[in-house]
Amino acid sequence: MELEFEIVPVEQYPVVIQTRLASASNLPDIATISQLDDTTALNLAKQGIILELNSLIEKYSNGNIRRMYTQVYPFAPKLTTAPDGKMYWFSNLHILKYQNTKDAPSILCMTIRKDWLDKLNLPVPTTAEEYFNTLKEFRIRDANGNNLEDEILVYNPGYFSQAIAQWFGLGTDITSVDVENKKVVSPWYQAGIKEYFQYLNKLVKENIIDTSLINAGGELINQKFAENKVASISTYSSQTWYEPMIPVDEALLLPLTSLKAVEGITPVIQLEPPSLVWGKYCITKGCQNLEAAIAFFDVVYSDEYSELLSWGVEGLTFEWVDGVRMLKESLSNEERAKQRNTTGSPLYGDTVFPRIQCPNLESALNNLINLGQKIKADFQIEYMDYRPCFYNFNNNFMAIPDDEQLNEKSRILNNISTYSSELATKLALGTASLDNWDTYIKELKELGLDKLIEIDQQLHDRYNSISIE
């Protein structure tokens, strides 16, 4: 099989692909349409410009595609089946495993400077109140040693995905899927919401939250790290990209579990699903050889390709350790280029070919240990099974909406997203009063919050009803 590519600069691609598909001329056999929303893609399917895949798979596939979508990544059909029961695009598939069989979600949480705790002989906070007092102590006792009270918390109160919200039992977005109870909820209706904003307002009044960083870009936040001012930030528990910015040899951001904040409310943990589906790759009506196109995807959805993409070649890019694959010591892109040894993902993933990923948690934990951050590896193992939880990718638990659902949902979100973010920020800053709570809820309802919950519940119900054949 010889493949011919037409590469388009990324900034031009959305316009080029939409124009080409809309005109239905000069079509490639296979196209990446990840930049198109579901409605646009499904409309192209209705027009026959992109092809329905079920019958093509049934007629031409050697079985690899179906095996990947039903056995290896059995969650995938729930997220790639259109409302009419058919499939119109292939997707990137990912699942993170531990000990070969156990799903391993990533943890998002608040982190705190462990080296500052050690320097000031302070214990690790175990409650929200202790956390507040610890951040005050950092400022009062000059944790960074520059004789200024400028040790800060980086936190954007406009988004419930910031992990203090979960201490108060709140979901991660305007609507959130409670997967365990199969129910869609909204933080605006949850029990701990007022106490959450009261707590944030207390952090703001003490100048602990740096309000100049609200909605700031990453460059400004990175500058605060470079100035050794960041005491705490919401991020992945296993992150390794912030410490190198800090001009202190022993700097380490310690992950914190969900801290008790309100009596009677169980803190939740925020997780990234171990199973992910994203991206769209279609076969167009311009395809000259449908059998060859399906053969191409049979290769992509094979164990051999998946292993080459995720792991590379044994002895060159990975090795077996106690029956588990381990990536060899990570190299810079420059070093990889010199050695000409790398896994397939940097070469193929997310551009021309779908990304079919089969990583394991052990390799990621080993990398943390090699970096001298075993405490983060231990945290991941200890808390990845913590429940209750909310996930940061709610769409990962919702079926593809039909036209009516998507149009209505888009209309509501266009209005309510900005209002919700601005209101949450004002409540945290104290420029909006909790005394007017009933007015805020009335406005949220008028903007469609209840309808949004209803639609998302329908999508979650359909997600749960899709059978895997």
DSSP, res 448: T
Domain presence at residue 239 = yes
Same structural domain for residues 159 and 265? yes
Res. 217 pLDDT band, cuts 50 70 90 = confident
Collapse the DSSP code of 92 into the 3-class scheme (helix H, G, I; strand E, B; otherwise coil) and give the result: strand
Same structural domain for residues 312 and 328? yes
Please check the confidence at residue 110 and state whether its pLDDT lies above 90: yes
pTM (two decimals): 0.88
CB 128 within 8 A of CB 257: no
Residue type, position 161, single letter: S
Please check the confidence at residue 186 and state whether its pLDDT lies above 90: yes
- Pinpoint the alpha helices (H) of 258-398: 290-300, 303-310, 333-339, 345-348, 361-370, 374-383
Same structural domain for residues 174 and 258? yes
Concatenate the DSSP letters of all residues of 147-207 into one string: SSS--EEE--TT-TTSTHHHHTT--SSSSEEEGGGTEEE-GGGSTTHHHHHHHHHHHHHTT
Q: What is the CB neighbour count within 10 angstroms for residue 58? A: 10
Provide, rounded to the nearest whole percent, the portion of the chain with pLDDT above 70. Answer: 97
Q: How does the average pLDDT of the chain come out, rounded?
A: 93
Please check the confidence at residue 163 and state whether its pLDDT lies above 80: yes
Q: What is the pLDDT of residue 346?
A: 72
Domain presence at residue 287 = yes
- Of 359, 387, 412, which residue is a domain's last? 359
CATH code for the domain of 141: 3.40.190.10
pLDDT tens sequence across 117-142: 999 999 999 999 999 999 999 999 99
Same structural domain for residues 340 and 437? no
Please check the confidence at residue 278 and state whether its pLDDT lies above 60: yes
Domain presence at residue 328 = yes
Please check the confidence at residue 184 and state whether its pLDDT lies above 90: yes
Give residue 407's domain range: 401-464
Q: CA 350 to CA 34: how far, in whole Å?
A: 9
Structure tokens at 141: 């006792």
Structure tokens at 346: 């940097």
Same structural domain for residues 187 and 256? yes
Same structural domain for residues 97 and 147? no
Q: CA 458 to CA 1: how far, in whole Å?
A: 43
Collapse the DSSP code of 389 into the 3-class scheme (helix H, G, I; strand E, B; otherwise coil) and give the result: strand
Same structural domain for residues 50 and 183? no
pLDDT tens sequence across 406-464: 889 999 999 999 999 999 999 999 999 999 999 999 999 999 999 999 999 999 999 99
Domain presence at residue 201 = yes
Which residues, other chains included, contact 240 with Cβ-Cβ below 8 Å and sequence gap of 6+? 367, 368, 371, 373
Please check the confidence at residue 39 and state whether its pLDDT lies above 90: no
Question: Mean pLDDT highest for which of 10-14, 97-101, 352-356, 431-435?
Answer: 431-435
Collapse the DSSP code of 216 into the 3-class scheme (helix H, G, I; strand E, B; otherwise coil) and give the result: coil
Domain presence at residue 364 = no
Domain presence at residue 26 = yes
- Of 244, 272, 300, which residue is a domain's last? 272
pLDDT tens sequence across 231-248: 999 999 999 999 999 999
Which residues, other chains included, contact 201 with Cβ-Cβ below 8 Å and sequence gap of 6+? 427, 428, 429, 430
Collapse the DSSP code of 253 into the 3-class scheme (helix H, G, I; strand E, B; otherwise coil) and give the result: strand
| Backbone phi, psi, residue 280, to 5° | -140, 130
Same structural domain for residues 37 and 174? no
Q: CA 442 to CA 440: how far, in whole Å?
A: 5
Q: CA 71 to CA 60: how far, in whole Å?
A: 19
Distance of CA 385 to the CA centre of its chain: 18
* Rounded average pLDDT over 300-316: 90
In DSSP terms, 106 is beta-bridged to 272
Please check the confidence at residue 344 and state whether its pLDDT lies above 60: yes
Same structural domain for residues 306 and 195? no
Domain presence at residue 32 = yes
Please check the confidence at residue 164 and state whether its pLDDT lies above 60: yes
Domain presence at residue 1 = no
In DSSP terms, 397 is beta-bridged to none
Please check the confidence at residue 336 and state whether its pLDDT lies above 80: no
Specify the number of domains making up the chain: 3
Same structural domain for residues 291 and 243? no
